[in-house]
Structures are given as structure tokens and as C-alpha cells.
């Protein structure tokens, strides 16, 4: 019997599919904000302000991730996913109330970062718990499709929506998708969590002190800084030069990533 025929080795179980769909919805909602720099520019922000405002979400997400990991180990994945889904729906809806560069916008960006930290961490941990141990790398590569595809979708949807309907409709759609993700997450049963050996070093500090992980920290940081520059400023580049589109750029990016995940996972 092959791994694909063995029920214990199946990847596409009900909970895995539900987690995939939940992540697809929340990821699409999140990636609609690839177009946010255009809105910030319309509100009067210069490129330095756009970079700072965009960084608030990332900094908030980074700050919250260590306690999120502890919360998942203590209370399970599902409560974190539900809290993240609720915050995500609230944050995306609040963009509709932003009319100028000011405290409300900064607060919404921080709230959006908290939601990102909760959802991205918990959904991937939930998927990892549901994937058979012997197929974990393959399973997580496939689950990553639910996070990569929304990058392309967010670009194309915004390209088609904004010229006719504007940012208000874009934010309303993001809120609707975030709410759909939140609703789907209610059907996700709690996953079995891995049991650590007594005395095993866990937590953010242990990971930072682990010497063989230090090259990964460095590579991941450098890669993320370079990649984020494109995520934040490609919208401004397209608007300024008229070359290509956000959807076209990120579709080329995601097509390459998806091909690797689907065929080489």
C-alpha cells in the first residue's frame, strides 16, 4: 500500500482542507492591501511615510509572535485562530473609517499586525499538526499554496476593482473575506499538539540561542527585508511609471513559487 492509499498518511483530510480554505480567505483579504500604498499616497503620504506606516503592521506582528507561540502550546491552536480571525475582520473593516493620515490609521495598522501574527502562526501550526509526520515537508509545501495564491489574487483583484470602484470597495471586500475566514474557522476542531520531552528547550529564547538556527535567522531576515521592499512599493512604482501592474508582477512571483511547491514538495 502506498503512502497516498494509507489513510494514516493522507494529506487532504477534512481538517486540513478546512484549514487550507480558511487560510486562502484570510490570505486573500490580507493581500488586497498590496494596493494600500496607492491609497496612502492619495491621502497625502510621501514614500517615507508609506514605508513607516507599512512597517507598523510588521513590527506589531513580530512583537506578538513569541507570546502567540506560548499561547498555542498552552491553550491550543483553535482559540488563537478564532481570536486572530475576529481581530482580522475588525481591522479590515476599520480601514473604511480612515480618512486621513493620523492616529486611527496607525492604530488600525498595529491591530492588523496583531491579527496577522495570530493567524499566520496558528494556521500553519494547525496544518503542521494535521500533516502525517513522514510527509510533513510535502504537506506544508502544499499548504503554503493557500498562502501564496492570495498574493496573486490580491494583486489581480485590486487591479480590476480599483479603477471602477475605488478603495472603499476594496476594503469592504477585504472585510467580507476576513469574515468568511473567521466563519470557516469555527468548524475547525482542535488539533493534537506535539508533546515535548521533559526538560526540552522551547520558546523564542531557546530558538534564538540554538546555534545551528543562526544561519537561518540571517538568511530569513535578509530575504524578508528585500522581499518586503517589493511588497510595499510595487504599487507606487506601477502608478508612477505606468509599467505593468501589481497583479502581473505578483502573478509571475507566485507562479514560480507554486510550481516549486506543487511539483517539488
Check residue 247 and give left, alpha or beta (phi > 0: left; psi -120 to 50: alpha). alpha
pLDDT tens digit sequence for 189-244: 886 665 555 555 556 677 777 888 888 888 988 988 888 888 899 999 999 999 98
Question: What's the half-sphere exposure (Cβ side, CA atoms, 13 Å) at 193?
Answer: 17
Q: Give residues with Cβ within 8 angstroms of 146, minimum separation 6.
A: 20, 21, 23, 24, 27
What's the CATH code of the domain at 159? Answer: 1.20.1250.20
Mean pLDDT of 165-171: 95
* Residue 85 lies inside a defined structural domain of this protein: yes
* Residue 193 lies inside a defined structural domain of this protein: no
Site of grid cell 473604511: 96
* Residue 5 lies inside a defined structural domain of this protein: no
pLDDT of residue 197: 52
pTM for this predicted structure: 0.86
* Residue 3 lies inside a defined structural domain of this protein: no
Distance of CA 141 to the CA centre of its chain: 15
pLDDT tens digit sequence for 23-50: 999 999 999 999 999 999 999 999 999 9
pLDDT of residue 9: 75
* Residue 194 lies inside a defined structural domain of this protein: no
Q: Please give the mean pLDDT across all residues of the chain.
A: 88
pLDDT tens digit sequence for 94-128: 999 999 999 999 999 999 999 999 999 899 999 98
Residue 4 has pLDDT above 50, yes or no: no
Domain containing 114 equals 12-188+203-264
* Residue 7 lies inside a defined structural domain of this protein: no
Total of domains in the chain: 1
Round to whole Å and give the CA distance between 51 and 56.
9
* 245 burial level (CB within 10 Å; 0-12, 13-18, 19+): middle
Mean pLDDT of 80-99: 95
* Residue 6 lies inside a defined structural domain of this protein: no
Most confident of 49-63, 154-168, 209-223: 154-168
Q: For residue 259, which of 154, 155, 152, 159 has the smallest C-alpha distance?
A: 152
Amino acid at each position: 500500500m502506498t503512502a497516498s492509499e494509507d489513510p494514516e498518511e493522507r494529506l487532504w483530510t477534512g481538517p486540513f482542507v478546512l484549514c487550507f480554505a480558511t487560510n486562502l480567505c484570510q490570505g486573500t483579504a490580507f493581500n488586497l492591501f498590496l494596493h494600500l500604498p496607492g491609497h496612502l499616497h492619495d491621502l497625502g503620504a510621501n514614500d517615507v511615510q508609506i514605508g513607516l506606516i507599512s512597517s507598523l503592521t510588521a513590527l506589531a506582528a513580530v512583537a506578538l509572535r513569541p507570546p502567540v507561540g506560548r499561547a498555542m502550546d498552552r491553550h491550543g491552536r483553535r482559540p488563537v485562530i478564532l481570536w486572530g480571525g475576529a481581530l482580522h475582520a475588525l481591522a479590515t473593516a476599520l480601514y473604511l473609517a480612515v480618512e486621513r493620515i493620523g492616529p486611527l490609521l496607525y492604530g488600525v495598522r498595529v491591530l492588523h499586525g496583531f491579527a496577522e501574527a495570530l493567524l499566520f502562526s496558528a494556521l500553519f501550526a494547525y496544518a503542521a499538526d494535521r500533516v502525517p509526520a513522514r510527509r510533513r515537508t510535502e504537506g506544508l509545501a502544499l499548504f503554503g499554496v493557500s498562502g501564496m495564491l492570495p498574493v496573486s489574487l490580491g494583486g489581480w483583484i485590486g487591479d480590476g476593482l480599483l479603477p471602477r470602484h475605488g478603495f472603499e470597495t476594496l476594503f469592504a471586500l477585504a472585510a467580507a473575506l476576513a469574515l468568511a475566514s473567521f466563519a470557516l474557522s469555527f468548524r475547525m476542531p482542535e488539533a493534537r499538539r506535539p508533546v515535548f520531552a521533559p526538560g526540552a528547550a522551547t520558546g523564542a529564547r531557546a530558538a534564538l540561542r540554538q546555534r545551528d538556527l543562526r544561519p537561518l535567522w540571517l538568511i530569513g531576515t535578509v530575504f524578508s527585508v528585500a522581499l518586503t521592499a517589493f511588497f510595499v512599493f510595487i504599487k507606487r512604482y506601477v502608478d508612477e511609471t505606468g509599467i505593468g501592474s501589481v497583479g502581473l508582477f505578483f502573478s509571475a512571483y507566485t507562479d514560480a513559487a507554486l510550481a516549486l511547491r506543487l511539483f517539488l514538495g
